[in-house]
Amino acid sequence: MARELAPLAWVESPLQLIGAAEWAHAEGESIALAGRLTAQMPETADELLARGARFVDPQPYLGIPWGLLARHRHWLVGDGYSGQFRLAATVLRPRRVTFLDDGANSVAYADTLTGRRPYRRPGHDERGLTTRVGPLAHAHVVSRALAGDVDFFTAFDLGYERRDALAEIGVPVHRHDFAFTRETARPHLFRTSRVVLGSARPDDGLLERDVYLDWVAHEASIAPVTYLPHRRESGEQLADVAGTPDVFVERLDLPVELVLAGAVERLDVLTLASSTTTTLPLVLRGSAAVLRPREPGARHRRRAVR
């Protein structure tokens, strides 16, 4: 009988890619890699490989990598709500699925899997083929869960109640603390002792841009800041940020988890609400850097709702 191929990490964001490297490190197992060609993905893959990530035969892709998925029966995926995942899971019916982190949607998907919320991406109005294949993909994943072939590998604390609900349908939750990321960190010196993490919230319509720029300017008025752009941040917004006094933009084309793991000096890391408020406390464990979550002040909030 032919030997089963290694698991395949089918990932589309830098956080999912890091999660795949962490899984391979924790399991002591090499994995094949299909990385979607989106912002920061080639650079992140190259960096992780240079650090010794256990990736074999990494393949960039656009669309659905049907051939790779058909050959590998264990998939590591980040987005259980993805329309592409729904279609591929319905057609190819993987034998085993490991769900990696995809920001806070990981928590929502855990609730979907246990029947506590509908199979629909939070905050989205779904239609077309995505909705038609959704029930089929969901039914297959649940059937594999009941057979003991689905698990979560996450940095998020899903809580006792949610973990118990997952356990009832046969889904274990394995937490990680970015051990590989920290162990392989490369030292990085910043120009300033205060670092602002860029946000795509204005581009996503979740915060008015002038409110956001006001916040960045306010932080820079306290003391100069190094600004790390978000991978989905628009060029227009970044140009406005770069024109702000005492803001030094540093484009590294890597996720902040990889960059900040190498902090070698005391840093105040300033961020708006995002998955970084979960990931970075783990990444910065044992370092002199401190994460300081921020929200625009009362004056900004009033402007944002006008």
Q: Check whether residue 30 and residue 175 sit in a common domain.
A: yes
Q: Which domain holds residue 66?
A: 8-182
299 pLDDT above the threshold of 70:
no
pLDDT bin (cut points 50, 70, 90) of residue 103 is confident
Q: Which residues pair with 152 in a beta bridge?
A: 99, 173
| Phi, psi angles (nearest 5°) of residue 47 | -65, -45
Position 2 in a domain: no
pLDDT of residue 129: 65
Span 54-64, pLDDT tens digits? 999 899 999 99
Query: Residue 51: which of 15, 12, 22 has the closest Cα?
Result: 22
Same domain, 176 and 29: yes
> What percentage of the chain exceeds 70 in pLDDT?
93
250 close to 228: Cβ distance less than 8 angstroms: yes
Same domain, yes or no: 100 and 22 = yes
Residue 110's pLDDT is 94
Which of 182, 204, 227 terminates a domain? The answer is 182
Q: What is the mean pLDDT of residues 6-19?
A: 95
- Per the confidence metrics, is the pTM higher than 0.85? yes
**Tell me, what's the pLDDT at 130?**
67
Q: Averaged over 169-173, what is the pLDDT?
A: 96
1 lies in some domain: no
Distance CA 294, CA 225 (A): 14
The CATH number assigned to the domain holding 201 equals 3.40.50
Q: What is the pLDDT of residue 113?
A: 94
User: CA-CA distance, 265 to 289, in Å (whole number)?
Assistant: 7
What gap in Å lies between CA 33 and CA 7, rounded to an integer? 9
| 212 CB-near residues (< 8 Å, 6+ apart) | 199, 201, 202, 237, 296
Nearest Cα residue to 74 out of 99, 43, 102, 110 = 99
Position 298 pLDDT exceeds 70: no
Round to whole Å and give the CA distance between 291 and 44.
22
Residue that the structure tokens 């840093």 belong to: 267
Average pLDDT over residues 187-194: 94
Q: What is the mean pLDDT of residues 275-287?
A: 92
Strands (E), the chain: 8-11, 31-36, 55-61, 74-77, 96-99, 150-154, 173-175, 194-197, 225-228, 247-249, 267-271, 289-293
Same-domain status, 151 and 17 = yes
Q: Is the pLDDT of residue 301 over 60?
A: no
In terms of Cβ atoms closer than 10 Å to its own Cβ (0-12, 13-18, 19+), residue 141 is: buried
- The pLDDT, as a whole number, for residue 227 is 98
- My answer on whether 268 and 199 are in the same domain is yes
Residue 18 lies in a domain: yes
Assigned domain for 61 exists: yes
